Amino acid sequence: METETPTDESQPKGERGTYQAGQDQSLSGAVVEAIAANSELDALEIADEFGPLYDVIDPSALDSLFRSTGTADRPVGCVTFEYAGYRVTVDQTGWVVLSDRQ
């Protein structure tokens, strides 16, 4: 897992898709939905096919990392990890970017 400060660079090479988390959607849920949207599997089949998300990253930690506290804005940055054949990048704005593994 990597944490990075976002840059204004173009999307990563091999980009497979982007997904914007809904306002009330958890980031971990957005990751699963993004993968389902870019595969022939539904969200419930992802864990059966690739193992649970928590095998590669703690979903609660991911969800709380960029959560707004109500008194302060979300921290700036992004997290990158590999899951389900993708390099997954999640940022503080709720965007999930799926790229080919490198």
Mean pLDDT of 4-23: 61
**pLDDT at residue 20, as a whole number:** 93
The DSSP code sequence of 5-70 is ---SPPPPTTEEEEEEPPTTS-HHHHHHHHHHHTSSS-HHHHHHHH--GGGTS-HHHHHHHT---S
Whether the pLDDT of residue 89 is over 90: the answer is yes
Whether the pLDDT of residue 5 is over 50: the answer is no
- Mean pLDDT, all residues of the chain: 82
Whether the pLDDT of residue 26 is over 50: the answer is yes
**What residues does each domain of the chain span?**
2-7+14-100
- pTM for the whole thing? 0.78
> What are the tens digits of pLDDT across the range 41-60?
998 899 999 999 999 999 99
- How far apart, in whole angstroms, are the C-alpha atoms of residue 77 and residue 6? 6
